[in-house]
Amino acid sequence: MLVLVAPGQGAQAPGFLTPWLELPGAADRIAAWSDAIGLDLAHYGTEADADAIRDTAVAQPLLVAAGLLSAAALGELTPGAVAGHSVGEITAAAYAGVFDDIAALKFVRARGLAMAEAAAVTETGMAALLGGEPDVVLPHLEKLGLTAANVNGAGQLVAAGTTAQIAELVENKPEGVRRVVALKVAGAFHTQHMAPAVEKLEQATRELTVNDPKFTYVSNRDGQTVATGAEVVERLVGQIANPVRWDLCLETFQERGVTTLIEVCPGGTLTGIAKRALPGVRTLALKTPNDLDAARELIAEAAASAGPAEA
C-alpha cells in the first residue's frame, strides 16, 4: 500500500521552491495562488531568507503550496492513504479532495495569521527531543511546564512552551535524551497557547465548500481514519491547540499494510521518522523535481504489487 504524506512547519528552507517553478505551468499556478491569498509565494519560496519564511503566516501557506505543487507533478495516482503532519494535514485534505487548492490556500492563510497572532501574545517556541523513554521524558516536561506537542514516534518527541521553558529544557535534558534541537517555528503550536486561534479558524471554515475525502484520510488527532469532509475540517480546527499524534498515524499505516511512503515537498522529516519506525517500508522524499522519476517508479511498483484498489 502506498501512503502519501505532507510535512509540517519547520521543513521549509530558503530557496526550496526554486526548482519546482521550472516545471511546466508551475509558475502560473503559484502566481494564481499568490493572488488568491495576497501573499507572494514565489518570492518567499525562492528569494526570502530563513527568518522571513520562519514567520508562521508565511511558512504555512508556503508549505501547503509546495506540497500541492509537488503532489500534482506525480500525476494521477490512488494512494491507499494520505496524511499530513500539523499544517501538512491541510495539504493532505486538499489532495484528497476535501476542498480545492484555492480553498486550501485561503484556509491555511487564515490559519497561519491566527496562529501568528496567538504566538505574539507570549514568546514561545518548540524543540525536538531525540532519544529518551516516554515514562521519563513526559514527567520531566510537565515539571518544566512544557507540553508534548508532537509525539512523532521512532524516539522523537517535540516539546512546546515559552522560550524560557525551552531554554531550561536545553540546559536540563531528561535522562536518556541525546539532543534537544530548537525548531524553525515561531510559536508553541498544538498547545494551550494556540487556543485564541481556534475561534478565528472556525470562522474561516464557513467559507469552505467541503467534500468527503476520496482517499483514506488519517488524522493527527488519534491516528484514526476519517470518512467525512465535515469531520476532517472539524479536526483541522481543533488540531492547532492539541498535540499531533504522528506516532498513532504510523501505527495506522502499519496496520493497513503500508509498503511505500512518499513525502511531498519539502520532504525529508517524515521519511526520516518512517525509516526508523517502519522498517522494511520503502520511503522517498520529494526535495526537488529530480526526485519525481524515482517516486513514479515506486508508485508503479506499489500498484503492481498491491493492485489498483490498494496501491
Active site residue 305: no
- Active-site position among 86, 140, 193, 219: 86
**Annotated catalytic residue 190:** yes
Give the residue carrying C-alpha cell 522560550. Answer: 163
Marked catalytic residue, from 85, 140, 190, 193: 190
Mode of pairing for the β-strands spanning 177-182 and 124-131: antiparallel
Other Cβ atoms within 10 Å of 49 Cβ, number: 10
Instruction: Go through the chain and tell me how many residues it has.
Output: 311
203-211, long-range: CB < 8 A, 24+ apart:
204/106, 204/107, 204/110, 204/111, 204/114, 205/107, 205/233, 205/237, 207/103, 207/106, 208/99, 208/103, 208/107, 208/233, 209/99, 209/100, 209/103, 210/98, 210/99, 211/97, 211/98, 211/99
- Report which residue type is found at 227: A
Q: Is the bond preceding 266 in cis, omega lying within 30 degrees of 0? A: yes
Q: Which residues are known catalytic residues? A: 86, 190
